[in-house]
Amino acid sequence: MDVVFLCPSFPSEMPEFVRGLATVGARVWGVGSEPAGQLPAMSRHHLTGYLQVRNLFDGESTFGAVRDWLGTQHVEPDRVECLAEYFVLTAAFLRERFGCPGLTVEETVPFRDKVAMKRKLDAAGIRTPRHARAGSVAEIRLAAERLGFPLIVKPVAGAGSAHTFRVESAADLDHAIAGTVGVAEVSVEEFIDGEEFTFDTLTLDGKIVYHNIAWYRPRPLVARTHEWISPQVIALRDVDQPLLAGGTAMGNAVISALGFQRGFTHMEWYRKADGEVVFGEIGGRPPGARQVDQMNYACDFDSFVEWARIVCWGRFEAETPRLYNVATVFKRAEGAGRIRAVHGLERLRHDFGRHIVWENLLPVGAPRRDWLQTLISDGFIVLRHPDLAATVHMADRVGSELRLLAS
């Protein structure tokens, strides 16, 4: 099995997926825009070969370079995989040109174009926010007038919450327009007021073989607005509770409507105070910000390997008992410059002990990251516990007591 894997270095989970492919017996041919020497060690170790290309957004030139390179290796690819949001269309283009199975360009578009995505789901009877596509300031204002406040304005082909704005007034609309200058097209949408969750799946031949539901505390848009917040993502142990049943049913309907066959998907959805569930968006990829690791901690399995087994061999072999709730708490340092001190960590270690399963904080002396560009911010702590209330309590204490100071 020869697998072309686009972008084996970013996001930070990608080396684990390269490892997964190698573990199930694939030869992995990495393609990316950075020099081979800059690849993470895990990717370098598990790749069979690597090709640096000029522009991963350019499907035609990337195809030509990969075709010529593999030709010198006497290799014809069996699969083309990409789990980096921005390059899934390039991967689909390469699949078509190489004749590999998987999502075509046409099938991939709804996973990248938020308006096309919602139109397809509207046609399937799935509740989505009222929405409109806008490619100019005039179109944004017209859509806002038609839909009414409050609104969300966000890129049609965005990822995460970048360049996303909540709009409650004409002044907010002016701010959103200024904040999306340079964005080719935006989606202007009804604002849905409710709790926000994920619905993450491993799917095999159109059937969901594993799903995860995570709870955002607070909603990503709120967390992205206030630097002092320590955002939490909690992978829930009890995914079958009645509170989540509507989201699960909708998630299954979305997978069916979009015709997704094999691999990871990441959906976000809302539950309003009156119990109504509303679709948010979906990516034909895993969730970011190390949420795949949360799934592994929640069920004690290796989802990187099981994803690879699905896409390569059409099998899912893991046992996935729901053992724990898993909370990831992301920290943002106070101040600017370099990390100079970390306060509260020893006390949290003492109190929570074995429930802390991963510490990934910037070390003293490291420069702060731009909190607006990455949810991971200046690091995170991962905790797990069978009881949700205990998990939330620990996560809240990490949020309030752990402090990173910068200067």
CATH number at residue 66: 3.40.50.20
Tell me, yes or no, whether 122 lies in a domain.
no
Is-cis flag, bond preceding 150, omega within 30? yes
In angstroms, the CA 244 to CA 149 distance is: 28
Same domain (yes/no): 185, 202: no
Question: What angle in degrees, to the nearest 10, is found between the helix axes of 388-401 and 345-352?
Answer: 160
Handedness of CA 8, 10, 15, 21 (dihedral sign): negative
Handedness of CA 351, 354, 355, 358 (dihedral sign): positive
Angle made by CA atoms 228, 283, 21, in degrees to the nearest 5:
105
Tell me, yes or no, whether 256 lies in a domain.
yes
pTM for this predicted structure: 0.91
Same domain (yes/no): 280, 381: no
pLDDT at 158: 66
Decide if 43 contacts 18 (C-beta within 8 A): yes
Among 323, 353, 375, which residue terminates a domain?
323
pLDDT at 242: 96
Measured from the Cβ of residue 353, the count of other Cβ atoms closer than 10 Å reads: 8
Tell me, yes or no, whether 383 lies in a domain.
yes
In angstroms, the CA 312 to CA 163 distance is: 36
pLDDT in tens, 254-279: 999 999 999 999 999 999 999 999 99
Decide if 311 contacts 79 (C-beta within 8 A): yes
Same domain (yes/no): 208, 315: yes
Range of the domain at 221: 194-323
Number of domains in the chain: 4
Please enumerate in sequence order all residues whose Cβ is within 8 A of that of 372, keeping only pairs 6 or more positions apart, or say none.
224
Decide if 263 contacts 95 (C-beta within 8 A): no
pLDDT at 373: 84
pLDDT at 181: 86
Same domain (yes/no): 310, 258: yes
In angstroms, the CA 188 to CA 146 distance is: 10
Decide if 168 contacts 150 (C-beta within 8 A): yes
Tell me, yes or no, whether 380 lies in a domain.
yes
pLDDT in tens, 54-100: 999 999 999 999 999 999 999 999 999 999 999 999 999 999 999 99
Is-cis flag, bond preceding 11, omega within 30? yes
Tell me, yes or no, whether 40 lies in a domain.
yes
- The SS3 of residue 107 is helix
Same domain (yes/no): 166, 223: no
Same domain (yes/no): 171, 209: no
Please state the φ and ψ torsions of residue 161, each to the nearest 5 degrees.
Answer: -110, 20
Tell me, yes or no, whether 351 lies in a domain.
yes
Which regions of 111-163 does DSSP assign to beta strands (E)?
Answer: 131-134, 151-155
Same domain (yes/no): 277, 373: no
Handedness of CA 301, 305, 311, 316 (dihedral sign): negative
Which pair of tokens denotes residue 198?
């994920």
Question: What angle in degrees, to the nearest 10, is found between the helix axes of 137-147 and 170-179?
Answer: 140
Is-cis flag, bond preceding 218, omega within 30? yes
Helix (H) or strand (E) holding 12: none
Residue with token string 């969300």: 152
Same domain (yes/no): 72, 136: no
* Count of residues in the chain: 407
Among 276, 298, 323, which residue terminates a domain?
323
Same domain (yes/no): 204, 319: yes
Q: Where residue 248 sits, what CATH number does that domain have?
A: 3.30.470.20
Q: Where residue 138 sits, what CATH number does that domain have?
A: 3.30.1490.20
In angstroms, the CA 107 to CA 260 distance is: 8
Among 289, 323, 357, which residue terminates a domain?
323
Tell me, yes or no, whether 108 lies in a domain.
no
Same domain (yes/no): 317, 214: yes
Tell me, yes or no, whether 228 lies in a domain.
yes
In angstroms, the CA 8 to CA 70 distance is: 17
DSSP bridge pairs for 64: none
Residues of the chain with pLDDT under 50: none
CA distances to 18, 34, 45, 70 from 37, rounded to whole Å, are: 16, 8, 12, 20
Q: If you average pLDDT over every residue of the chain, what do you get?
A: 95
Same domain (yes/no): 319, 329: no
Same domain (yes/no): 394, 335: yes
